[in-house]
């Protein structure tokens, strides 16, 4: 019975339940020990069936990379949208969701094919993964909560 519950757990959530991702809300940062490199993500609270996010990578005081994110309902399914720089948004529909993790996947995207967010004590853990040039690849982002001011 326990195994069956574990298998069914990801389906216990309504796929369009944006409200259940309230743990994304806030400002998050990952910084290297020397302080010369940081990645920030900022997420709004869920409202109007969406969350809005933005991120930037800063190295030696200069912005190297920007990303605009939205999680919303597309065709009745919770979907993560990422817009890097000025290109159009790429959709990653929900693959699975629990109370502390959400996984979005787009198997046709070049890289990444999966975007994962996990609620962890004191922070937010993000991971992108997939296949690039025929090899498995991933990048991890262990964010800590910071002030939004």
The pLDDT assigned to 35 comes to 81
Bridging pattern class, strands 62-74 and 77-84: antiparallel
Looking at residue 88, what is its pLDDT?
85
Contact 71, 81 (CB under 8 A): yes
b/e 60-99 (16+ beta carbons within 10 angstroms → b): eeeeeeeeebbbbeeeeebbbbbeeeeeeebbbebbebee
All structural domains of the chain, each given as residue ranges with its CATH number in brackets, are: 15-146 (2.40.128.20)
pTM of the complete model: 0.84
What string of pLDDT tens digits covers the 149 residues of the chain? 333 333 334 444 445 589 999 999 999 999 998 888 999 999 999 999 999 999 999 999 999 999 999 999 998 889 999 998 767 899 999 999 999 999 999 999 999 999 999 999 989 999 999 999 999 999 999 999 999 98
Q: Residue 76's pLDDT is what?
A: 86
């Amino acid at each position: 019975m326990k195994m069956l519950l574990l298998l069914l757990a990801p389906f216990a959530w309504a796929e369009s339940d944006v409200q259940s991702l309230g743990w994304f809300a806030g400002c998050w940062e990952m910084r290297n020990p020397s302080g010369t490199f940081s990645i920030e993500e900022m997420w709004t609270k869920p409202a109007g069936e969406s969350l809005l996010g933005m991120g930037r990578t800063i190295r030696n005081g200069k912005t190297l990379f920007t990303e605009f994110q939205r999680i919303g309902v597309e065709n009745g399914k919770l979907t993560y949208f990422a817009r890097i720089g000025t290109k159009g948004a790429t959709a990653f529909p929900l693959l699975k969701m629990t109370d502390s993790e959400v996984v979005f996947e787009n198997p046709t995207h070049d890289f990444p094919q999966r975007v994962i967010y996990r609620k962890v004590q004191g922070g937010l853990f993000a991971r992108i993964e997939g296949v690039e040039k025929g090899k498995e690849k991933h990048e991890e982002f262990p964010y800590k909560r910071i002030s939004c001011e």
